[in-house]
Amino acid sequence: MKDKYLIVSKKILPDYYEKVIEARRILEEGKIKNVSEVVKMVGISRSTYYKYKDYIFLPSKSTIGRKALVSLMLEHKRGVLSDVINYLSVVNGNIITINQNMPINDSASVIISLDISDINIPIEEIIIGLKDIPDVISGKLISLE
């Protein structure tokens, strides 16, 4: 994980990185629900927002690198969520919360918040491992703290 991330001063970064964070914050707070309106308000293009929105995060005020938010899409089959939980246990992940939505079209969205302070492999490998579990349709790291 250390090879993929940098901590840099925002003084040397293009200003649109900070504008992407601001746009995402406004959308998350629900002040404005339309991406087109938000990007116009903060002064960036839609393409810039979509290009960077999943890759730029602010460090948290608490401990950095201790929590992760993972989004999964699972087939609606018995035992799939159990397999995910067992895998996270094997890699020393500590589940904080699980939010599973009702299955629609035989698949269910699951959001897992995870304490990763004791994991024994990089978070990127955990996401790959989750995707490799049978009946896991997709997986994505939403945020890292």
Coil/strand/helix, residue 41 = helix
Using a cut of 0.75, tell me whether the model's pTM lies above it: no
Residue range 111-130: mean pLDDT, rounded: 91
Of all residues in the chain, the percent with pLDDT exceeding 70 is 93
- pLDDT tens digits, residue range 80-99? 999 999 999 999 999 999 99
- pLDDT of 60 reads 56
- pLDDT of 42 reads 94
Superfamily of structural domain 67-144:
ACT domain (3.30.70.260)
- pLDDT tens digits, residue range 47-66? 999 999 888 887 654 444 58
Number of H helices, E strands in the chain: 5, 4
Write the DSSP string, 66-106: SEEEEEEEEES-TTHHHHHHHHHHHTT-EEEEEEEPPPBTT
- Domain positions in the chain are 10-52, 67-144
